[in-house]
Amino acid sequence: MIRLSVIIPTRNRAKFLERALASFVGQTFPKDEFEVIVVDNGSTDATAAVCAELAARFPRFTYLRDEHPGLHVGRHLGMNHAQADILVYGDDDIEAGPKWLESIDQAFTNPGVVLVGGKNLPMFEAPPPDWIARLWAPNDSGERICCPLSILDLGDVPRRISPYRVFGCNFSIRKSILLAAGGFHPDGMPKELIRFRGDGETHVSQFIDNRGLTAFYHSDASVGHFVSRERMTEEYFYRRSFNQGISNSFSELRKQGRCAGFRKQFVSTLRQIRARFRLQFAPYPQAGMAKFTRLGYRYHQRAYRSDPALREWVRRNNYLEGIHLNSEVAPQCQ
C-alpha cells in the first residue's frame, strides 16, 4: 500500500534535483510504501535525463511535465496523480534526512494531525556573512527561524505548532485537507509574470489555522535546504520583500475584492515582519526590506487596477487542475 506521495516540482535545476532524489533512496521508510512524483515545469536542462536515470532506484517513480508557469501548477498536478492520502511536498534543492519519511508517517498516525513539518537546516554554499549568521542565531525561546531563506529549527521536541511554521520546502499534508482548502494559491512565477504571484501555501496554512486544525512538528521529519551565495545578499532579501508585498496585496484583494487601503496594509505588513523576523534587532537592513515590501504591494495594486487579466486571475475561486494562465497573458508582461 502506498502511504506517502513525495511530490517535487522543479524547473532547470537538474544538479539539485539529483541530490534530492538520491537522499530519498536512503530512507528508513519502506520503499514499497511511498512513491516519488517529479513535476517538470518546462525545464530545458538535464532534468528529464536525471529522472530517467534515478527512476530505476524506486519501485514507484513518476515523471510529469507541464509547461504552464507557476509552482502551484506542479503542486496540483502532483496531487492529481498521487496514490497516497498523505502528500509530502519538497523543494528540488533539499536533502532529506534518513528518517524524513518515517517520521512524517509516524506523525500522521494521529488522525487529528493534518499538516506536518520538521527542521529545514541550511546547507550554505559558502560561509554566511556575519549578518546572516546572526540572523540564524537562536531567539529567546531557543528557536532559529529565518523565513526569507526558508530555514528553521524548533528544537528536538515533537509538538503542535502554528501551521505558518511549516514551510513549503518541507510541507506534508492530508490530501483531503488540501482539497478542502481549494488547493494552493499561485506562488513562484517567472520574472515577466511576477504580477500573477499569489500567497502560495500561506493560504493553506491560514485555512488550517482558521479551523483550529493541528499542525505538528517532528524534529526527524527534517531536510537540509540549499542556501546559495546569491541568497545571502541584501539584494536577494530585498527581492523577497518585494515579492512579499505582491503576496500581501493578493491576499487583501482576495479578501476584499477591491484595492485595500494602502496605509492600513502597510502598517499590518510591518507588524508581521517585526513579529516574524524581529527586525527591530535584526542584523540586516530593516528599512530596505520595509521599503521593498511597500513597493511590491504598490506595484501589484496598480497592476490589478489596470490589467483585466490580473483581476480575473486574483478573483478565481481556486487554482486547481485546468486553471492556468492563458497564452495571451505573457506578451502583456513586457
Over residues 250-273, the mean pLDDT reads 62
Q: Residues with Cβ < 8 Å from 213, sequence gap 6 or more? A: 112, 114, 115, 163, 177
* DSSP state letter for 239: H
Please state, rounded to an integer, the average pLDDT across all residues of the chain: 90
Count of domains in the chain?
Answer: 2
DSSP 103-162: HHHHHTTSTTEEEEE--EEEEESSPPPHHHHHHTS--TTS-EEEGGGTEEE--S--EEE-
CB atoms within 10 A of CB 33: 16
pLDDT over threshold 80, residue 248: yes
Q: Are residues 209 and 263 in the same domain?
A: no
Q: Which helix (H) or strand (E) holds 89?
A: strand 86-90
Distance CA 143, CA 121 (A): 12
Grid cell of 330 as nine digits: 505573457
For the chain, the helix, strand and coil percentages under 3-state DSSP, each to the nearest 5: 45, 20, 35
Query: Which has the minimum average pLDDT: 26-30, 102-106, 323-327?
Result: 323-327
* pTM across the whole model: 0.90
Instruction: Answer whether residue 331 is part of any domain.
Output: no
Q: Are residues 208 and 306 in the same domain?
A: no
Q: Are residues 53 and 107 in the same domain?
A: yes
Over residues 219-229, the mean pLDDT reads 97
Q: Are residues 79 and 131 in the same domain?
A: yes
- CA dihedral over 41, 246, 160, 95, signed as positive or negative: positive
Instruction: Answer whether residue 327 is part of any domain.
Output: no
Q: Are strands 86-90 and 4-10 parallel, antiparallel or unpaired?
A: parallel
Distance CA 288, CA 262 (A): 18
Q: Are residues 193 and 243 in the same domain?
A: no
* pLDDT classification of 32: cutoffs 50, 70, 90: very high
Q: Are residues 10 and 130 in the same domain?
A: yes
How many CA atoms does the CB half-sphere of 330 hold within 13 Å?
10
Four-CA torsion 122, 126, 129, 131, nearest 10 degrees: -10
Instruction: Answer whether residue 329 is part of any domain.
Output: no
Instruction: Answer whether residue 35 is part of any domain.
Output: yes
Q: How deeply is 309 buried, as exposed, middle or buried, from its count of CB atoms within 10 A (0-12, 13-18, 19+)?
A: middle
* pLDDT classification of 315: cutoffs 50, 70, 90: very high
Q: Are residues 245 and 216 in the same domain?
A: no
Contact (CB, 8 A) for 245 and 116:
no
Distance CA 253, CA 67 (A): 27
Q: Are residues 208 and 243 in the same domain?
A: no
Domain boundary among the residues 227, 253, 269 is at: 227
Grid cell of 251 as nine digits: 491576499
- H/E/C letters for each residue in 208-226? HHHCCCEEEECCCCCEEEE
Q: Encode pLDDT of 283-296 as tens digits.
A: 556 668 889 999 99
Q: Are residues 157 and 57 in the same domain?
A: yes
Instruction: Answer whether residue 108 is part of any domain.
Output: yes
CATH number at residue 33: 3.90.550.10
The pLDDT of residue 257: 59
Residue type for position 182? G
Q: Are residues 281 and 305 in the same domain?
A: yes
Q: Which domain holds residue 240?
A: 234-321
Over residues 229-245, the mean pLDDT reads 94
Instruction: Answer whether residue 98 is part of any domain.
Output: yes
Domain boundary among the residues 197, 227, 257 is at: 227
Count how many residues are written for the chain: 334
Q: Encode pLDDT of 115-169 as tens digits.
A: 999 999 999 999 999 989 988 999 999 999 999 999 999 999 999 999 999 999 9
Q: Are residues 195 and 291 in the same domain?
A: no
Instruction: Answer whether residue 332 is part of any domain.
Output: no
Strand order of the sheet with strand 86-90? Answer: 61-65, 34-40, 4-10, 86-90, 170-174, 113-117, 214-217, 159-161
The pLDDT of residue 324: 75
Residue in 100, 81, 3 with CA at minimum distance from that of residue 40 = 81
Instruction: Answer whether residue 333 is part of any domain.
Output: no
Q: Are residues 30 and 131 in the same domain?
A: yes
Domain boundary among the residues 227, 256, 285 is at: 227
